[in-house]
Chain A
Amino acid sequence: MDSSSGQSEFEYLFKLLMIGDSGVGKSSLLLCFTSDTFEDLSPTIGVDFKVKYVEVGGKKLKLAIWDTAGQERFRTLTSSYYRGAQGIIMVYDVTRRETFTNLSDIWAKEIDLYSTNQDCIKMLVGNKVDKESERVVTKKEGINFAREYGCLFTECSAKTRVNVQQCFEELVLKILDTPSLIAEGSKGVKKNIFKQKPQADVSTSGCC
């Protein structure tokens, strides 16, 4: 592979998408994962986005994580964000039942509609477990839902950072287990016409 400078060295580029109702804490989760902070954020307008470089399973990865707006008003513009996503994180608030039911009523349908890759890994995340006293959605319900839709499941809290890192890591490991997703991830890897080695396949270099 090309010699590349410090920070931007990576083998795969994966796109992850976060969906779920407004206020379930998608942006907080993302912020917590990428910068380890928790802020009371204002609602996301349109789509927000973070990049994080991680090393998982011995592979250097670049994660592009898309945080969509939960408001229905912005629903229309998010369809293109499903394009090329290797992982989709469905977030609900364990203290608000409607955010959980909406996942099956609205969000799961959107995935079926817009996702371009059958193998795409889905993950169900119940957020705000720090408010245990206000919990209305049980862990059991979450597990059942995950089983039905064939996705990973975890509960976490952006505020206390419980399980946040593990949640993303789990998802990425699962993606790395899926050859078709690995192939997609290596496609996005950079290439330069002036420094090209004669048709060396980029994906092979990542298998060491």
Chain B
Amino acid sequence: MASTSKVGSSGDEESEEEEELEHFDDFTLASSWERFISEVEAVCRQWLADGPKNLLDKGAVHLGSSKNMYKVKSELKYLLKSYGMEYYFEVNKSGKVTDWDSIFHDLQLCFGVKEFLVIAPQSASGVVLDAPEASKLLSAIAIALSNCSSLWPAFVPVHDPSRNAYIGIQNLGTVFTRRFEADRICSQVPVKLMHLEGLYELFVSKFAYSTLDISMHIFKVRFTMKLTYQTLPYDDDDIREVDAENIESSEDRGGDSNNKTQWDDDCPWSEWYSAEDPVKGFGLIAIWSEKMVESSLEMAELENSSPHDAEKWILLPNISDGSKGNRIGFASQLCLLVDALDMSFEAQFMEDFVSVENPSSDNLKSMVIPSPTVLDRVLKDLLLQGVKIPDFSKGEHKSSRYIKGAPLECLFAQFCLHSIWFGNCNIRAIAALWVEFVREIRWYWEESQSLPKMPSNGSIDLSTCLIYQKLQMLAICIEKKRELNEDFQDCVGSNDQSPAAIKEDVRVVEGSTGLQTPDDNFDRKRDSLLTAEGLHESGTAMPRHNGKPENTGSTDQKPSECIRIMPDQKPSECIRRGSSGAVGSMMLLKSRQSMHAPFTQESPLMTEDMHEERLRAIEAFGGSFDFSAQLERDILSSDMSAFKAANPDAVFEDFIRWHSPGDWENDENEGSSPSGNLSVDGLKDNWPPRGRLSQRMSEHGNLWRKIWNNAPALPASEQKPLLDPNREGEKILHYLETLRPNQLLEQMVCTAFRASADTLNQASFGALKQMTMKIDQLYLTIASTLRPLQANIANSETIEDLRRLCVVFEHVEKLLTLAASLHRKFLHAPCLSEAIFSDYYNYYLPKMGMGSSEEVDVQKEFEMKLQVRNHERQVISNMFTPPTANQSWRKVLSMGNLLNGHEPILREIIFSMNDHVNGSHYATHTPSVHQKEIETYRMYMCGTSNDLRVALSVTSFD
């Protein structure tokens, strides 16, 4: 009605007259079509003039589905309707139209065009429902485009939207016109059109004029085909064995979930949880590229061929992000453990969390402790002693040691892992488990039973967490206590200086030792003549000080020297005890007998806190030389006693020469040489060696000398042990029983992170470099984030850092699950798993918030297409396991080209027919314009046996 505005001013009362006038102005109405054409023309001219580059600057919209596709849109009005005209174009115009590899817009594929226009009404359906309207619209555009001599094809959507039907037109210069038509059959595809043969005939029928039997003639057409296959989803039914079992299991489906095999059953984390397979399946595209087909028979043959005959295979991994919903894994549990750490500051002792009466906050009340049966099961699992001590280096990463935790297989690491999966890892559940755990540990202690999953020997590794050190120490104490019980069953307490005789019913278990169990045989040898043989056999205990072992060898090698020394020993050898052999050619200063190194007690093992305590003590007492001797008093005294026993005629200076050569200053720079190469004769000449004690050793009241004076001559085997297992063990239990919740949780967090990482680290994922790198990074991140915890400076900031660490852990865990899944699927084609993982890694990295800072579209799904090389085809083919009876029953196979019994989920075919222009009837009219071959007929067919879409383009001479 806009056209009436001119006369509208004549007044309201003249409304009837207006109608007349409007009729009179009819020419505007008649020209609206023309005006629409010119409007289209104007827009097209503008777009043509701009070119892709400027259009991009003007805000062309990128089409997500295809890489280089953009579109611009303009709205047009025609009569009362408004239309949207869209121009689709590619920035990078290259490649052939039939190239299946690149991602195409649907219409490009259908009609074999590159850039194109689409005009659609701005309505809900977005299609033109009225056939005359559609053709009118199309001719309007055709006129407009030819006016601006554009060769763009234009399409109009028609019919029902679900049919995806289009009509279209394209000017090809002045002479030819291409017409397009596409439609779809959504159901009840005629049987004839299910097969290649029928589809070929459908195409041929478009240009074969007669309705004669097509098979009688030869029509050379070009043909290419793309088949898409999809692996069946890995659901429970598929994994179940086929055959008779299936029938049975269908009855008790609920009960047999235990027999179900999970994909990750042999992955290291499966002991704790089962991860969803991130690889949901694979799509496979098999492409038969250009072929000349002459008859329907040939097509029939082609339908029988295997996908292995196709020229090209392209793999489409279907990988789920797993970002939806809460993923259960180590990361989620570690996060709960961090929450528990946060709560742990609320109480003084672990028992306070367990007791029901006084939960200090509502938060605690809501936390549930799993039932006693569950607790019992977990404890049994935890304490179950394996046949042998597990391999503690298992799963260890080169950076594991930077995390102050415990080895994965050990008791405490296992406790931590059990805890994070116990209940929902709340502080009350942890407390309940811990209290029971410690009670069990006490049982092992009281009953002198070996601690499960703990080494009972070796030295204390101070890089581990304190609880682990304590447990190792306890295991060692238990071992020593056992030896002690076995050896001294009948003489309890007799090793103390005075017998325990306070009360008859009082027994003192204190002090006695089992360090080097003296067996009779050994004693006899020691006290008898020292023969070379005897020396060898008695070298069972390793003395702490060097200088001895090579010497036992040298006496063997030089029997003559040995014999010469032996007469010297004669006077005292009957009282020489606990000797491990002579020290080189060193002689005692006073008696001029050869100096013997004694067997000494091992220095007592110390845990970290004991070292610290000593350090504090030294600081507290001013760090004087005497005080450090005071600290070492027990050890010194023990060594001196042993030395005295081995060298009955020794003086203090002799001990210093052996024990602390630095404190003996030699005038002639010989004699103290431990090499033993100096000839005995040479020594004799210089006897006695001239030298003196160092300043600090010769000071008046030197503590060393005092200790020396008080030390009795006792071989190590008869001494009180330096490490009193009863005492140390009880101390450790006290530590465990009174451990502060936050101290426990701090160590648990460290150990749980390390153990979880070590567990994941055991997964095999082949040579995926990025994964190895990420794991390396993870360890270092964990180590640096946990450092404040080790220094006992946990605050709210640390807790936040730990929560972030859990997120980092989760990302790595997810990637690792994928890496492991890919690795096992592509064991024989590692290149494929590497390529897929690499692509996914690059896709995922921005999501981890560790890559570039710019925010990437996180919603984007992971998509990749990977060309499969010939030798890798078998691996892919094996993934298409033959469908079970159950599955094939569901579906009637109706297409050919089966891959291990799988029919394609989508078949796409392009037929095309080319004509030499000069050879055809067109040529007579345009002898010089078009001399080249042009595509006269093209048909794209896409679908399955019950869904077929056909798009036809025909070039004709107008």
Contact = CB atoms under 8 A, between A and B. Distances in A.
Contact of A35 (B436, B498, B731, B737): B498
B485 A191 contact: no
Contacts of B379: 193
Contacts of B502: 36, 165
Interface in A56-98: 64, 66, 71, 73-74, 77, 80-81, 83-84
B323 interface: no
B614 A5 contact: no
Contacts of A64: 730, 734
A142 B726 CA distance: 35
Given A80-B738, A165-B502, A194 B730 contact: no
B613 A83 contact: no
A188 interface: yes
Contacts of A8: 446-448
B630 interface: yes
Nearest to A32: B502
A192 B620 contact: no
Given A64-B734, A188-B442, A192-B447, A46 B617 contact: yes
B500 A36 contact: yes
Contact of A193 (B380, B489, B620): B380
Q: How large is the interface on B (under 10, 10 to 19, 20 to 34, 35 or more residues)?
A: 35 or more
A34 B613 contact: no
B447 A191 contact: no
B351 to A, nearest CB: 9
B188 to A, nearest CB: 69
Contacts of A139: none
Nearest to A35: B496
Contact of A45 (B510, B631, B738): B631
A5 to B, nearest CB: 7
A205 to B, nearest CB: 15
Contacts, number: 115
Contacts of B489: 6
Interface stretch (A47-55, A101-109, A125-133, A149-157): A47-55
Given A7-B485, A84-B738, A194 B380 contact: yes
B738 A7 contact: no
B478 to A, nearest CB: 11
A37 B496 contact: yes
Contacts of A77: 613
Interface residues of A, number: 40
Contact of B498 (A7, A36, A84): A36
B737 A194 contact: no
Contact of B447 (A5, A35, A49, A73): A5
A41 to B, nearest CB: 11
A3 to B, nearest CB: 10
Interface in B362-382: 376, 379-380
B633 A192 contact: no
Nearest to A56: B505
B617 A193 contact: no
A73 B613 CA distance: 11
A53 B507 contact: yes
Contacts of B508: 34-36, 52-53
A28 to B, nearest CB: 14
B711 interface: no
A53 B493 CA distance: 12
Interface of B: 349, 376, 379-380, 383, 436, 439-440, 442-443, 445-448, 485, 489, 492-493, 496-503, 505-511, 613-614, 616-617, 620, 630-631, 633, 726-727, 730-731, 734, 737-738, 740
15 contacts: A6-B485, A36-B500, A42-B630, A46-B613, A46-B617, A49-B727, A49-B734, A51-B510, A52-B506, A66-B734, A71-B620, A77-B613, A190-B439, A190-B446, A194-B380
4 smallest A-B Cβ distances: which pairs? A190-B443, A73-B620, A55-B505, A83-B738
Given A35-B496, A77-B613, 8 more contacts: A5-B448, A35-B510, A37-B496, A46-B613, A50-B727, A54-B503, A71-B620, A190-B445
